[in-house]
Amino acid sequence: MHTNRTVRSLTAAVALLLGAHTATAHDLWLIPPDRAEPGKPVRIRANVGDEFPRSDVAHDTATYVRRFVVAPDKTTGKLLPDGKEGTSGLMRFLPEKPGVYVVAVETQPKLITLAAEKFNEYLVAAGLQHIYLLRAREKTLDQPGRERYRKSVTALLRVGRGSAGDPCHAVGLPLEIVPLRNPLELKAGDTLPVRVLFQSKPLADANLGWDHPGDGVMPSGTVRTNPKGEARIPIAQAGLMTIRLTHMTRPKAADYEWESFWTTLTFELPE
């Protein structure tokens, strides 16, 4: 059992790391267009970075394991790779009817090994302090982090002026943030209830963060999910917004010890 002094020391170490910025903490966002109309191609940007929604690198979206669109009638269609433009990867689809669409992708799992200091910074910056404290208890803070990671993200957009469609249902990603109220119908001052699902089950104590353009590297706010995997996100302003989360497990596989799952939900509130 740790003494109170030891616990205080660990807590202080975590607090020092909270302000640390690590170059490995790159989210993936699907950025919808400002306007979309039925019968006209819709282009979705895949942006990767640590300051929403600015992209640092253009993904080759053809490498994604899954790319799909859920139409207002809940049918699933293809989200096609469409090359790159600047630092954005591109995808496209052709909506047939007006209403609310959900676009989703899942990336290929990748392996990475981070030096001990960088891994510790990343754990705290991503809201994974419990993993940091576990490493501290096991006296492994000086060991590198061998990790496999993947990203599964969604975005909502309205096509035309229709209100058909239900964005408040899971689409079957490994980790996803499911709104419990249509975000596209909210306004500044409202609150968005959400549920986090991991492997289709509610995820408790998940550290959600949210951002608007210009908020900087650190999230503008955070909240943890309750035992039902639910939380409430304040809506501060109209325009583009994202909600993000990283969840980590410890499979202790032959070539990696940790596995992380990243997700974002992006949408634009009407002015």
pLDDT tens digit sequence for 232-258:
999 999 999 999 999 999 999 999 999
DSSP state letter for 204:
T
Q: Is the pLDDT of residue 4 over 80?
A: no
**3-state secondary structure (DSSP) of residue 195:** strand
Q: Is the pLDDT of residue 90 over 80?
A: yes
Q: Is the pLDDT of residue 29 over 50?
A: yes
79-102 as b/e: b if 16+ CB within 10 A: bbbbebeeebbbbbbebeebbbbb
Per-residue pLDDT band for 25 (boundaries 50, 70, 90) equals low
The pLDDT of residue 111 is: 97
Per-residue pLDDT band for 35 (boundaries 50, 70, 90) equals very high
pTM for the whole structure: 0.90
**Which residues have CB under 8 Å from 96's CB, separation 6+?**
38, 39, 71
Per-residue pLDDT band for 271 (boundaries 50, 70, 90) equals confident
Cα(194)–Cα(209) distance, integer angstroms: 12
Closest CA relative to residue 95, chosen from 69, 118, 116? 69
The pLDDT of residue 8 is: 43
Beta bridge partner(s), residue 194: 179, 231
Q: Is the pLDDT of residue 201 over 70?
A: yes
ω into 53 cis (within 30 of 0): yes
The pLDDT of residue 10 is: 46
Q: What one-letter code names the amino acid at 64?
A: Y
pLDDT tens digit sequence for 147-199:
999 999 999 999 998 889 989 999 999 999 999 999 999 999 999 999 999 99
CB 235 within 8 A of CB 220: no
The pLDDT of residue 220 is: 87
Arithmetic mean of pLDDT over the chain: 91
